[in-house]
Amino acid sequence: MKQLKRIFFVVAALATLVALIYAIENWRGTRDYQSVMDRLRTEGEVLEFSQLIPVRVPEKENFGSSRFLQELKQEGAPGSSQALVKGIYDSFRDVEEAETPEEFLSIAQRLANEKGIKAAPLEFLVTTLEPWQPIRQELAGRLSLPYSQWNRTFESGQQADGYSVFNLGVFFLMKLTAIQSHVHLLEGNHAGALEDILIGLRLGEMYQQEPGWIFHVIFLADLALMGDPIENGLRSQVWDQGQLDQLDQNLRKIDFANILQTAMRGERAFMLSFKDAATRSLGLGPEMGDDQPLWRHLAPRGWALRGFGTLSETYQQCIVDLETGNKAFGHQIDTWNRLWSGLEDAPATAWTAADHSIKLSGIGRADLDTARKLAVHRAVIQLAKFQLEQGNYPASLEELPTRPLDPLDSQLLVYERVGDGFRVEAPDPYDAYRFELAK
């Protein structure tokens, strides 16, 4: 009997000790989390996702309110914009992978042969794209209108119905626009090619102020798609000074630091909107997936809260780096990678640490690579304008009105004359991007 009492006493004492540890850790975690939230709000940060959604532009004045774009929300309706986009896109499988006009025509010829269509590749492309022309004209006619956040995907932390289909439809539309611009370049319709590129950039622009990573990825994908026809047009020297000015004005509006800040703030707020579900019961709970280690499911709620606070602080450091502007973009990426690597090794940073580490380092590198390619394109535009005005290319980039800098280290891009042409490059240590025009 005495032995049973002792066992009962030991078990009760251990249970009391565990409960006390949980209570203390929950209190400490809640305190630390609330301290971070209070400090961020004091610094002027908005942490509620619903407050980050951009203000709507009136429907009649909104580029995103075109009939075609709104119909993309109507999932599965035959004859709808979505069905039309997918039908045309399926006819152009792999075409957007081409990087040169020769590759583009070669893939088009293969697709025509597979479909049993006896037509030259360019004729096949033009015929297949005919249903897209009314859509193109509608969007082109609305290019000058402002835009607003017309998707409302994650309003108040809730996923809207059909958002995946809608974003997929817009992404297909971006691909079709890039294909159409290639076709116009091949046809010699240089003004039409530029108009297509501007439509494509406009579609991507509407995602620049959407809060969250998924929208940022679509924006980066759009720039990647438009990059090839921009490069081919510049390489072919088909645009006059006014057209080059128009393209440069649109590319100049792309502010990677501001756009990346918006994505970070949105992703942080979206993450915090799931805080209660993620920290329910003892630990993270089954809501966040059963693939988490057992200790995460059993960990005190305070550990998870402290993790959300730590993640929020890490986001804040990245956001502040972008705001200060005193660091080169490439060096910021290195700093972020070190921050996230430290989080992955810390056991109390909650389930999100590894996931967000991959997102931030991966997207940061994609931003850097895209920003460097864009910097080279803008330098080539300036060089083309200089040649049209002066009759030759400059001996140095210092002669251009705006010094083209590498976003990696804020130094001048590499440039040299090659015969009657030139070479301009964003060099290693990251992925190098080179544009060479030899005459």
pLDDT digit string (tens) for the chain, length 439 residues: 667 777 777 777 888 888 888 888 889 988 999 999 999 999 999 998 888 887 778 878 888 778 787 777 665 555 567 777 777 777 776 776 777 777 888 888 888 888 888 888 888 888 888 888 888 888 888 888 887 755 554 444 444 445 566 777 788 888 889 989 999 999 999 999 999 999 999 999 888 888 878 888 889 989 999 999 999 999 999 999 999 999 999 999 998 888 888 888 988 888 887 776 655 544 444 444 445 555 556 777 787 788 888 888 888 887 887 776 545 666 666 666 666 555 554 444 444 444 444 455 566 778 888 888 999 999 999 999 999 999 999 999 999 999 998 887 788 999 999 988 999 999 876 677 899 987 6
Query: What are the strands, taking DSSP E only, across 150-251?
Result: none
pLDDT on residue 373: 93
Q: How does pLDDT run across 290-332, given as a tens digit for each residue?
A: 455 555 567 777 877 888 888 888 888 878 877 765 456 666 6
Q: Are 149 and 179 in contact (CB under 8 A)?
A: no
Q: How many CB atoms lie within 10 A of CB 39?
A: 14
The residue to which tokens 């000074």 are assigned: 241
State how far the Cα of 411 lies from the Cα of 119, in Å rounded to an integer. Answer: 49
pLDDT on residue 286: 40
Q: Are 330 and 369 in contact (CB under 8 A)?
A: no
Where do the domains of the chain lie? 2-42+277-364, 45-273
pTM for this model (two decimals): 0.83
Q: Are 218 and 212 in contact (CB under 8 A)?
A: no
Buried b / exposed e along 283-304 (16+ C-beta atoms within 10 A): bbbeebeeebeeebbebbbbbb
Q: Of 53, 78, 11, 69, whose CA–CA distance to 265 is shortest? A: 53
DSSP characters for 57-108?
A: PPGGG-GGG-HHHHHTTSTT-TTSHHHHHHHHHHHTTTGGG--SHHHHHHHH
pLDDT on residue 300: 78
pLDDT on residue 342: 55
pLDDT on residue 154: 47
Inter-axis angle of helices 163-187 and 213-236, to 10 degrees?
0
Token pair of 201 as six digits: 């950039």
Q: How does pLDDT run across 377-422, given as a tens digit for each residue?
A: 999 999 999 999 999 999 999 999 999 988 877 889 999 999 889 9
Q: Name the phi and psi angles at 418, rounded to 5.
A: -125, 100
